[in-house]
Amino acid sequence: MACVLAIETSCDETAVAIVNNRVCCSSVVASQILVHRQYGGVVPEVASRSHVETINEAIAQAFVEAQLNWGAIDAIAATCAPGLVGALLVGLTAAKTLAMVKQKPFLGVHHLEGHIYASYLSQPELEPPFLCLLVSGGHTSLIYVKDCGRYEILGETRDDAAGEAFDKVARLLKLGYPGGPAIDKLASSGNPKAYALPEGKVSVPGGGYHPYDSSFSGLKTAVLRLVQKLEQETSELPVRDVAASFQESVARSLTKRAIACALDYGLNTIAVGGGVAANSGLRQHLQNAGAQHNLRVLFPPLKYCTDNAAMIGCAASDHFNRGHTSPLTLSAQSRLSLTEVMQLY
């Protein structure tokens, strides 16, 4: 049983949590959305400075919420890859410093592995093997979860990630940043069948299409052309219907690939992680399709879909229970494949 203090600063959320095995004792998330909204997206240098300003207060608050002291902490963890290097360095440096001062073991955690472990926080009995659909602003992947630290990528996006597509379409519709929640809200009162939008398919040599890979750049372009056409034909853009049609296309595409992948590999559970896991259209589509094929579909609570440190602590706790620790010389990496997780220990 490992009680871990975890820090997550890979992008624009300063997060600290204390996790005991798969139980979250406290989770503090300081969002930078208002800071970056004026720029229409995340500015790396601004994000790093905001992490520096917030990290100490977040750590202190995590202990207060958990009603624990340093004596209860077995190890200290931080996200070390992938992400914005400057942002990662803030959390990584804080965690290493605390590990040295408090004489605690240190673990570096892969951000995407954290998203996989988000499902464990609400489903502590969950055990591999299972399929993870990881959908966020930077990643869209179908992952065969074989064990702690053992992953196989079965499908991924060839261009834009799903979350990135949501942000870009939201910009086209002048909905602001972040785009995902804004589109989801409007789509709830729009007609998802108002406009036929293409499903991104990835062709393979010799003919046919890849069964699990995704593509969203073509869909984004189709929405752009649709908006330009509607602006010429109508005085008021039917934003709700466009948002609903776009969301329907994304949810249908992701569901089709996830279900096919799970069935082909004989996996009876699909766990969804990442910010797009909060999308109501995807939740409805995938849960309905899962029920039709007798597949168990798990979505984390909304608070664990977006970036948070509880998922990082959950992953770190599992690694620590297996005797894994990281050297204090571990560096921040902007890119690191999920299949290379064990290089961190």
Enumerate the domain spans of the chain: 3-117+307-344, 128-304
- For 243, the enclosing helix (H) or strand (E) is helix 239-264
In this structure, which amino acid lies at residue 317? Answer: S
- pLDDT of 45-100, one tens digit each? 888 999 999 999 999 999 999 999 999 999 999 999 999 999 999 999 999 999 99
Write b or e for each residue in 151-182: b if 16 or more Cβ atoms lie within 10 A of its Cβ, otherwise e: beebbbbebbbbbbbbbbbbebbebebbbbbb
**Sign of dihedral through CA atoms 209, 211, 213, 216?**
positive
Residue 64 CB neighbours (<10 A): 10
Question: Quick one: pLDDT at residue 44?
Answer: 84
Query: pLDDT at position 34, please?
Result: 77
Q: What is the DSSP secondary structure assignment for residue 236, as one 8-state letter?
A: S
pLDDT value of residue 251: 97
CA dist., res. 168 & res. 41, Å (int): 10
What's the Cα-to-Cα distance from 276 to each of 162, 186, 214, 251, rounded to whole Å?
A: 7, 15, 15, 10
What are the pLDDT digits (tens) for 11-51?
999 999 999 999 999 999 998 877 788 877 888 888 899 99
- Mean pLDDT across the stretch 106-110? 98
On the question of a common fold for 3-117+307-344 and 128-304, the answer reads yes
The CATH homologous superfamily for domain 3-117+307-344 is: ATPase, nucleotide binding domain (3.30.420.40)
What one-letter code names the amino acid at 53?
E
pLDDT in tens, 143-187: 999 999 999 999 999 999 999 999 999 999 999 888 999 999 999
- Please give the backbone phi and psi of residue 189, each rounded to the nearest 5 degrees, phi first: -115, 15
Burial (Cβ within 10 Å: 0-12, 13-18, ≥19) of residue 258: buried
Examine the pLDDT at 1 and tell me if it is beyond 80: no
pLDDT number for residue 216: 93
* Confidence (pTM): 0.94
Helix (H, G, I), strand (E, B) or coil at 150: strand
Kind and range of the H or E element at 4? Answer: strand 3-8
- Asked if residues 66 and 25 have their Cβ atoms less than 8 Å apart, the reply is yes
Spatial separation of the C-alpha atoms in residues 220 and 99, rounded to whole Å: 45
Contact of 251 with 232, CB cutoff 8 Å: no
SS3 of residue 128 by DSSP:
coil
Q: What is the DSSP string of 175-232?
A: --SSHHHHHHHHHTTS-TTSS--PPP--B-TTSSB-SS-B--HHHHHHHHHHHHHHHH
The pLDDT value recorded for residue 156 is 96
Quote the pLDDT of residue 36.
80
Q: Which of 11, 12, 2, 15 is nearest to 94 (CA)?
A: 15
Q: Are 280 and 247 in contact (CB under 8 A)?
A: no
Query: How would CATH label the architecture of 128-304?
Result: 2-Layer Sandwich (3.30)
Cα–Cα distance, 8 to 29 (Å, whole number):
9
